[in-house]
Structure 1
């Protein structure tokens, strides 16, 4: 009998299926690494007119007005020693103007928080206590929601008052930069020293009337706290208004790791960051739900500002801003375009009674050999797109490794079988 030569097709059939499967896996990984980043879930609602506002309404869970309360204490409050903070101040005697979609005072946590003099520019509520969108009610809750049985959530400044100025969110009239400007002027006239604006102009358009109104409010000694915007998924810098106007305290959103939330708008105008992911707050008709956005980071800072104003009533808006920035958990020696001067630290801000200046100062540089520890630079953390690419590279590497192992194992098994076949004088398995 002549020597039998195995047919190539059958000899490799045992490993070809594995190669093909892992090849598909590797191609899928490559596709993930080259795919463009997906837009962040917290992208804001854009209204049609360029002068009209934009505000983040994306909720990370189903939200029902008049629904249930959340029993646990939200992470944004767990990071704060609340008992120690409450010993310093509660916001009593301080009014914060919320220029937004209205504040529904039927929520029991807000019922006793409303200041007289509210106004509605786009609806029929007269005092600004109608909110069909739910946005302004969430913003107000983060600032001044009263403690309530059965929930660990309360506002940062639970005894502050909320002046609701409903400039947008009406059924027939939405509002624009003009109604926002009117609301700012009204807040100043009614004596509010802190104003929260958790929206920006559509398409990031500057507006002459709004710019002038903000400048006049700043000159009058009012602290305007504004959200930086939710279009930062690409990491690029861009100005938003009114957050980037001079004298405004612009707030970015941070996550549970004190890193920039992926959607938070970056820019040189960013002054400070605050929790803006999974933010529990009040909703119209009672109950609570969670939402993401710089819209909910700004009132966190406005609440801290209210605490400082109660404790130090003579401090100017610039001094309060400086104390918030200088006491923040800094990512480096000075500000950056992602987190500004860092993530707000309410307890640290209240603990220091020294009189601040009117602008923050960088930390002193530490040189090698000075006998002190030189801290490593803190990174901003990877974005979701970067994380997807990293995981995809792991998939590619694992796929290639398994392909090589399968190929090598197939060859080894084939050689071993052929050797056994030669030793026994019979053909090996094909």
Structure 2
């Protein structure tokens, strides 16, 4: 009897060992970081080899330099990984990394390569394998849910609260702007009537599905469709988006049926893709707190904007000159309660949700961040928000997923109205336009933004301004001169008090006006900054500290 029991135990152990061995042999996704970009054939003075003309122009307008972080990874390193047996799925410029598919047992030789610095995280990024197709049924995604009851006509409430009606009345509907949406799928977006004009006008510029590794984004989750409809629908008397004349890049970075760390890597890759197309604005109604494998979970202490991969990616995206808008999260009142990554990034606008009475939605995540910063930044309607669904109907939904695209659409039209602004200035002005900008808190942030108020600030207080002033050698002077047409070139001249010209530059139509003080090697003291455009001229004293 004991002998038989021992045999059974042995067979069970063999079965466990066989299962574990089989699991180790299964390909998993890992993010390998490279040590450097030494030997890369790409150069910062030849950005046209890896960035679109629109992406380069966006940086030039804002005085943002192409840096080593923008360079693609070294192709020789990629070939080395492939020769060592890895399937290189994607590479990341900003992280200087490769997302590889490889069995756990074959990971060690890759880590031993001299140019591999290590893993972004020591665990496999896709603990649960999801099939290539998630199905065509409407599903609920983590930051929003759609109700079955259709609505007719009340979309005006979510627009007028933000002054979008005034924005549209002045002719700013997103024309010429490019918006990237990172989401879980855009089910039937190419079929529904409320988005027909996007396709008729050929304003869907590009699509990509990072999870399924294909261009088709119209066969998965409906959450991205909901978001896109809020921004871009065009249905008289039912639903208009704030930026319904903008162009769009649709990117699937989220797998709604699971929650794995690889989705943060997909978000990074999606943001890099958006950057390379020249997108002006990113909307992301996504966020990450806990995962299918609890070992991968974030903690509230991670919300510093610098710890999670997705938050670092959001900051990098903003630093390329894009306005990044992200939902705050739907964890309000839960055990987590706080915002989710990447809403903790200091460089982006994180959006909470309110109802039509202006009260904070009970589910809207709150701040502060782990390092004490105010979040969310702003709020918009996220309760009974009017939106479209895959069967072509106009209905309602709840979630910060649906307040975020409203603000992203507002940012798009506002930037169209004031194209000389930098992305950081757009963010700051929208915060300043908030309904409680003088008393921000960690529930509403700076409050409900307003196109009208932001425009008043621009045409009034900031009709002509230079900041920072005083400035240091590390600063870039940002200049606003709204009295001058955007079609007029501007000459900038910096002199000392004796009239000696220290630098003189011409800025073409549409370029942001900025001046770097670092190469001038200025001594501390007063200087005169003169701007000329046609027969108009402005001079202001600036102080070098």
TM-score range, shorter chain: 0.5 to 0.7
**Higher RCO structure (Cα 8 Å, ≥6 apart):** 1
Q: 1:340 to 1:208 in 2, by over 3 A?
A: closer
Deviation readout 1:93-128 (Å, 9 max, x if unpaired): 111100002332222222333421211112376143
- Which residue of 1 is the match for residue 338 of structure 2? 238
On the 8 A contact 1:57/1:135 being kept in 2, the answer is yes
Task: Please state if 1:337 is matched with 2:429.
Answer: no
Greater C-alpha Rg: 1
Say which of 182, 188, 197 aligns to 2:275.
Answer: 188
Q: 1:94 to 1:140 in 2, by over 3 A?
A: same
Say which of 328, 332, 349 aligns to 1:249.
Answer: 349
Once residues 272 and 183 of structure 1 are traced to their aligned partners in structure 2, the CA distance between those partners, rounded to angstroms, is 24
- Which residue of 2 is the match for residue 75 of structure 1? 157
Q: 1:54 to 1:283 in 2, by over 3 A?
A: closer
| Structure 1: 5+ residue stretches without partners | 1-47, 360-430
- Once the 2 structures are TM-superposed, how far is the Cα of residue 173 of structure 1 from its aligned partner? 10
List structure 1 segments (4+ residues) > 4 angstroms apart after TM superposition: 80-83, 170-175, 234-237, 356-359
SS at match of 1:262: coil
- Once the 2 structures are TM-superposed, how far is the Cα of residue 169 of structure 1 from its aligned partner? 3.5
Once residues 358 and 304 of structure 1 are traced to their aligned partners in structure 2, the CA distance between those partners, rounded to angstroms, is 24
Say which of 180, 191, 194 aligns to 1:109.
Answer: 194
Q: 1:252 to 1:100 in 2, by over 3 A?
A: same
Once residues 257 and 381 of structure 2 are traced to their aligned partners in structure 1, the CA distance between those partners, rounded to angstroms, is 31
Q: 1:236 to 1:107 in 2, by over 3 A?
A: same
On the 8 A contact 1:218/1:247 being kept in 2, the answer is yes
Once residues 156 and 273 of structure 1 are traced to their aligned partners in structure 2, the CA distance between those partners, rounded to angstroms, is 15
On the 8 A contact 2:144/2:402 being kept in 1, the answer is no
SS at match of 2:431: helix
Say which of 221, 246, 250 aligns to 2:321.
Answer: 221
SS at match of 1:218: helix
- Once the 2 structures are TM-superposed, how far is the Cα of residue 161 of structure 1 from its aligned partner? 1.6
TM-score by length of 2: 0.51
Task: Please state if 1:290 is matched with 2:375.
Answer: no
Deviation readout 1:15-57 (Å, 9 max, x if unpaired): xxxxxxxxxxxxxxxxxxxxxxxxxxxxxxxxx969x996223
Task: Please state if 1:123 is matched with 2:196.
Answer: no
Q: 1:240 to 1:171 in 2, by over 3 A?
A: closer
Task: Please state if 1:311 is matched with 2:393.
Answer: no
Say which of 153, 174, 177 aligns to 2:264.
Answer: 177
Decide which moves more: 350-359 or 288-297.
Answer: 350-359
- Which residue of 2 is the match for residue 411 of structure 1? none
- Which residue of 2 is the match for residue 154 of structure 1? 240
Deviation readout 1:324-381 (Å, 9 max, x if unpaired): 1111111x7321000001112233234443348989xxxxxxxxxxxxxxxxxxxxxx
On the 8 A contact 2:354/2:360 being kept in 1, the answer is yes
Greater helix content: 1
On the 8 A contact 1:54/1:202 being kept in 2, the answer is no
On the 8 A contact 1:93/1:160 being kept in 2, the answer is yes
- Once the 2 structures are TM-superposed, how far is the Cα of residue 222 of structure 1 from its aligned partner? 1.4
SS at match of 2:366: coil
Q: 1:267 to 1:357 in 2, by over 3 A?
A: farther
- Once the 2 structures are TM-superposed, how far is the Cα of residue 233 of structure 1 from its aligned partner? 2.0
- Once the 2 structures are TM-superposed, how far is the Cα of residue 242 of structure 1 from its aligned partner? 0.5
Deviation readout 1:52-82 (Å, 9 max, x if unpaired): 99622323x316xxxx773444531354565
Aligned residues: 302
- Which residue of 2 is the match for residue 301 of structure 1? 407
Say which of 425, 430, 438 aligns to 1:324.
Answer: 430
Q: 1:82 to 1:178 in 2, by over 3 A?
A: closer
Once residues 137 and 191 of structure 1 are traced to their aligned partners in structure 2, the CA distance between those partners, rounded to angstroms, is 22
Once residues 280 and 169 of structure 1 are traced to their aligned partners in structure 2, the CA distance between those partners, rounded to angstroms, is 24
Once residues 377 and 336 of structure 2 are traced to their aligned partners in structure 1, the CA distance between those partners, rounded to angstroms, is 16
Q: 1:85 to 1:202 in 2, by over 3 A?
A: same
TM-score by length of 1: 0.63
- Once the 2 structures are TM-superposed, how far is the Cα of residue 142 of structure 1 from its aligned partner? 1.3
Once residues 292 and 224 of structure 1 are traced to their aligned partners in structure 2, the CA distance between those partners, rounded to angstroms, is 21
Q: 1:54 to 1:71 in 2, by over 3 A?
A: closer
Task: Please state if 1:92 is matched with 2:175.
Answer: yes
On the 8 A contact 2:167/2:451 being kept in 1, the answer is yes
Q: 1:316 to 1:49 in 2, by over 3 A?
A: farther
Deviation readout 1:286-316 (Å, 9 max, x if unpaired): 2222110111111111001001111111211
Q: 1:82 to 1:231 in 2, by over 3 A?
A: closer
